[in-house]
Amino acid sequence: MVRMILPLIIVLHLVIASLLALKLNLWVDEAYSLHTTGAGLRYAVLQALHFENQPPLYFLLLWAWRQVNSSLFFARLFSIGCSFLTLLCVARWSRHRFPNLHPALPVAAVALNPLTVGAAVDARSYGLVLLLSASLLAAFYGGFWALGTDKKARVAFTVLAAAALYTQYYLAFLLVAFGALIFLNRRTQLPHYLASVAIALAAFVPMIFVLMHQLRVASASTFAPASAYDNAWQVASVFLRFVFPVPALPHAATVVLWCALLALVGLCVLALRRHGSADRFDLTAITVLAGVLILTALTIFNQQITARYAAGLFVVTVLAAYAWLYDKDRERQPAAAALTAIAALLSIVSLIQIYQPMAKTGDWQRVAAYIMQNEKAGEPIMIFEANEALPLAHYYGGLNVVVPVPSALRFDTYDVRRNVIGSEADIGKALGERNASAAQAWLVTTDYCKWLTIDFHCDLLDRFVARHYVVKSRRTFFHSTVRLLGRRGAAPLTDTQRGEFAPRG
């Protein structure tokens, strides 16, 4: 029966992820993935580099995967497959490094964590990032860290390192942390490690100029600058949630809960300080160094700090926590079991909180169904902000035209500032003469009017609607709202009337 615990945990993860992948609607980032991989191979590469502003490997793999089946669910199955392989990798690594610890314990902490589940049900690169990071860790220990190093593991590490650089740039910091650890503790292996990394970097050379361009684009984006302290707190919060996925709570309650959890862990560490795993300092050093490098990069380029950017350090962070609680001299591991119980409980509460609406941002499948059930021909559908027209169009197959406000999404390069309404005239221009004269129209809006420092100017849209329409009905969905509007008067907007809405100066 004990042997069945690990397979049951993995099956539980796969069932949860598959059901969510089947039920949850497409959201805008996934819509980008489907668009990027929905044409030819060359198009997928160019869009990955210039629109997604990311390295291309994930999109190439997804493009090939979708040649079998182009559905959203099948695209998500690729991510689910990555999460499945990640769990197998964690189980195998745990067996080798923690021989007295049942591998089901760390696997459960990884499998139920909202980050893993979220990556599995998303047609984005994060599932592949988790797999590559776990595989890199295993290959690093096998090829450079174990007493009897394996040449095959070194070759695997070289290939995985190149794949990592072509998947997410932040994984490079994991390679730097590995190198620093070898320099400090295994210098005899340093030439072998440097040779492997050099080969991976040589394979990455074609991406250097693209990366420089992408960095310029990223640094030119308008983000809210934060202090070093604020950024450090955000990064620390991300890493704490890797181990303890605390659900959304009032700030004070979150701080108290984290303090209690850390105190509990501290007591366990003190109790086991003489018997812990030899890997505890190594894994902690990798986590801290790579975390500092990510913090530095995000601060320099004023990028938003989220768990997904640091996803490549999730597995090593969780394993570091278990290394501190592992008692190599005991067959039973009560501290590790307690950590798993706490992490699993917090994960379940968080998952219920996150997926209780059974929808991703926008709830576009239900929005489209609602409009199609209630619309009549000649009722244009305005949607703001404009990028959300892409996931809505995935489900909408009704009678009317979808009008992104203030303009349709352009796929040459990504610039969210194009979605800012400059004046009411932009809305009239987006509608056009024919749509502006319709007796009724639909307005679909998201719940946000700003993104970091960028103001989309919902106030101008509200002013335009109040001036030209009356709201006949209103329906709220998950992070979106649908309104049926009736035109004030039958006369269409003239050019002169549109001129009234020009910016005053």
Q: What is the DSSP letter of 224?
A: -
**Does pLDDT of 497 surpass 50?**
no
pLDDT of 493: 43
- As a three-state string, the secondary structure of 335-348 is HHHHHHHHHHHHHH
Higher pLDDT, 355 or 307: 355
CA–CA separation, 393 and 160 (whole Å) = 37
**What pTM was estimated for this model as a whole?**
0.91
* Least trusted range by pLDDT, from 28-42, 381-395, 478-492: 478-492
The residue that leads in pLDDT, 342 or 450, is: 342
| Position 207 pLDDT exceeds 50 | yes
In angstroms, the CA 120 to CA 129 distance is 11
- Cα angle 405, 407, 410 (rounded to 5 degrees) comes to 135
The radius of gyration of the chain from alpha carbons, rounded to an integer in Å, stands at 25
Asked if 165 and 54 count as a contact pair (C-beta separation under 8 A), the reply is no
Estimate to the nearest angstrom the gap between the alpha carbon of 36 and the chain centroid. Answer: 17
Instruction: Quickly state the pLDDT bin for 215 (edges 50, 70, 90).
Output: confident
Determine the pLDDT at residue 494: 46
User: Encoding tokens for residue 253?
Assistant: 């309650």
Residue 55 has pLDDT above 90, yes or no: yes
Burial of 491 per CB tally in 10 Å (0-12, 13-18, 19+) = exposed
pLDDT at 496: 43
User: Mean of the pLDDT values across residues 104-128?
Assistant: 98
Give the model's confidence band at 436: pLDDT under 50 very low, under 70 low, under 90 confident, else very high.
confident
Indicate whether 13 pLDDT > 50.
yes
DSSP string, 86-118: HHHHHHHHHHHH-TTS-THHHHHHHHHSHHHHH
Cα gap 334→325, rounded to integer Å = 9
CA distance 278 to 97: 9
Domains, the chain, ranges and CATH? 2-355 (no CATH), 364-499 (3.40.50)
Phi, psi of 332 (to 5 degrees): -90, 145
Q: What b-and-e string marks burial along 47-70, b requiring 16 or more CB atoms within 10 Å of the CB?
A: bbbbbbbbbbbbbbbbbebbeeee
Please count the CA atoms within 13 angstroms of the CA of 402 that sit on its side-chain side: 25
What is the residue whose two structure tokens read 């190149």? 162
157 within 8 A of 144, measured Cβ to Cβ:
yes
Q: How many whole angstroms separate alpha carbon 143 and alpha carbon 157?
A: 7
Q: Tell which wins on pLDDT, 280 or 133.
A: 133
More confident residue, 374 or 301: 374
Model pLDDT for residues 228-259, shown as the tens digit of each residue: 677 777 888 888 889 989 876 565 556 666 66
Residues in the chain: 505
Reply yes or no on whether the pLDDT at 103 is more than 90: yes
The C-alpha angle with vertex 240 and arms to 238 and 246, in degrees rounded to 5, equals 90
Whether the Cβ atoms of residue 55 and residue 166 lie closer than 8 Å to each other: yes
